Amino acid sequence: MAGNRGVTYQGPGKVSVDEIPYPTFELQDGPGVNPANVGRQLPHAAILKVVTSNICGSDQHMVRGRTTAPEGLVLGHEITGEVVETGPGVEFVQKGQICSVPFNIACGRCRNCKEGKTGICLNVNPDRPGSAYGYVDMGGWVGGQADYVLVPYADWNLLPFPDRDQALEKIRDLTMLSDIFPTGFHGAYTAGVKPGSTVYIAGAGPVGLAAAVGAQLLGAAVVVVGDLDERRLAQARSFGCETVDVSKGDPKDQIEQLLGVPEVDCGVDAVGFEARGHGEGSKQEAPATVLNSLMEITAAGGALGIPGLYVTGDPGGIDEAAKKGALSLSLGTGWAKSLSFTTGQCPVMRYNRQLMMAILHDKVQIAKAVNATVIGLDDAPRGYAEFDSGVAQKFVLDPHGMVPAA
């Protein structure tokens, strides 16, 4: 049996690469595992040799100590891997296939899964609908920033790539299918982006940049991206976006300078609960800022896509309400303008095959847009630290040296 290593959370600001158990077809006890899931038999699972696993902004929330994640939790929900072993209940997935792993863990059997709502599967997390690998309060499924990982309900969850050589050639793009590309696209799609739309995307991190790419794919006339960090804004401009620096003031005024009117057709929140204020308040956390701003600048009858993460437990929240995920929203503004909202985990399987085809047929270069940067598993602590500093990079872990040179 091969050994296994994984990136583990070791308290606020700390991750390490440690020896972890090799996956088995039974869910073992461990940090964050729901007691009701311990001993769960998984004949429908597959074991994957991890080809790539990306560092996500959602991981960074945990590593900053802004969730109730337990120490020792194995991180990583953005996974692409090669199937090396299958359980007796796996019928269609085959050894040797390279597959994308949606970050949502879904059974494929419950009412929500059958309706395409794979982000809120009813059967994989005893605590609440919805689950993910290596994430707090998600049932305790082991993360994939590791050498090997277990994927339950493999026939349902895995997206095999048609050709191995082509997959490895395009792996920097294809690795984004596990989360940020579908998530960003979902944000743009649920915001109602259509050909000719004007779009404002709050946040120029990887999800915000993926949302911008998604908006372009959907035919937006103008994509405006707002952020506090000039490095990230420059990355957005590198593939044709307009940008606003929200540290310089209200984005509404800057949008009017760009578009001639102080509003857009569609709005996307790719920031989430660690949002800061605008203008002089940009150095202070103000978690409702982005949502309230989007309601103000989105045209009446429009929609907000909200892929940015919001939580129900934040030990570092600015007040007691924020620690419980309760924000001071100007809901009256949204109601008066008849705005619609879409929140929650992206149902990755709703989009990943179509976006895979766009990548394979050279219709999009998502890796270039998010500045994918490949590092080894042992470099994960450095990757987390640099990502936390605000660099305009998306770090891709390559545990086995399988990613070809750029």
In a shared domain, residues 273 and 144 = no
Cα(318)–Cα(277) distance, integer angstroms: 13
Residue 222 belongs to some domain of the structure: yes
Residue 99 dihedral angles phi and psi, to the nearest 5°: -135, 150
Q: pTM (2 decimals)?
A: 0.96
CA 157 vs CA 96, 162, 186, 195: distances in Å: 16, 16, 18, 31
Tell me the pLDDT tens digit for each residue of 126-152: 999 999 999 999 999 999 999 999 999
What is the pLDDT, as a whole number, of residue 331? 94
What is the count of structural domains for the chain? 2
Over 70: is that where the pLDDT of 286 sits?
yes
- Residue 274's nearest CA partner among 41, 113, 64, 39 is 64
- The amino acid at residue 166 is Q
In a shared domain, residues 71 and 139 = yes
Over 70: is that where the pLDDT of 71 sits?
yes
In a shared domain, residues 87 and 215 = no
Over 80: is that where the pLDDT of 192 sits?
yes
In a shared domain, residues 59 and 194 = no
Cα(349)–Cα(156) distance, integer angstroms: 9
In a shared domain, residues 210 and 275 = yes
Residue 91 belongs to some domain of the structure: yes
Average pLDDT over residues 305-322: 91
Residues 6+ apart with CB under 8 A from 115: none
Cα(297)–Cα(198) distance, integer angstroms: 11
Residue 163 CA, distance from chain mean position: 25
Last residue of a domain, one of 342, 366, 385: 342
Confidence label for 1 from pLDDT (cuts 50, 70 and 90): low
Average pLDDT over residues 20-43: 95
Helix axes 206-217, 230-237, angle to 10 degrees: 20
Mean pLDDT of the chain: 96
Residue 404 belongs to some domain of the structure: no
Confidence label for 50 from pLDDT (cuts 50, 70 and 90): very high
In a shared domain, residues 78 and 155 = yes
Output the domain CATH number for residue 190.
3.40.50.720
In a shared domain, residues 224 and 300 = yes
In a shared domain, residues 203 and 153 = no
On whether the CB atoms of residues 404 and 169 are closer than 8 A, the answer is yes
Tell me the pLDDT tens digit for each residue of 76-104: 999 999 999 999 999 999 999 999 999 99
Which residue would you say has higher pLDDT here, 282 or 256?
256
Low-confidence winner among 16-30, 42-56, 268-282, 298-312 (lowest mean pLDDT): 268-282
Residue 402 belongs to some domain of the structure: no
CA 150 vs CA 43, 121, 209, 274: distances in Å: 11, 18, 29, 31
In a shared domain, residues 253 and 338 = yes
In a shared domain, residues 296 and 356 = no
Length of the chain: 406
What is the pLDDT, as a whole number, of residue 7? 98
Tell me the pLDDT tens digit for each residue of 338-351: 999 999 999 999 99
What is the pLDDT, as a whole number, of residue 307? 96
In a shared domain, residues 299 and 380 = no
Last residue of a domain, one of 342, 372, 387: 342
Average pLDDT over residues 196-224: 98
Tell me the pLDDT tens digit for each residue of 248-257: 999 999 999 9
Q: What is the full DSSP assignment across 108-135?
A: S-SHHHHTT-GGG-SSS-SSSS--BTT-
What is the pLDDT, as a whole number, of residue 140? 92
Residue 288 belongs to some domain of the structure: yes
Residue 329 belongs to some domain of the structure: yes
Tell me the pLDDT tens digit for each residue of 225-252: 999 999 999 999 999 999 999 999 999 9
In a shared domain, residues 329 and 282 = yes
- Segments forming the whole domain that contains residue 268: 183-342
Confidence label for 2 from pLDDT (cuts 50, 70 and 90): confident
Cα(284)–Cα(267) distance, integer angstroms: 23
Q: What is residue 324's DSSP assignment?
A: G
Output the domain CATH number for residue 393.
3.90.180.10
Residue 405 belongs to some domain of the structure: no
What does the buried/exposed string (b/e) look like for 210-228 if buried means 16 or more CB atoms within 10 Å of the residue's CB?
bbbbbbbbbebebbbbbbb
Residue 403 belongs to some domain of the structure: no
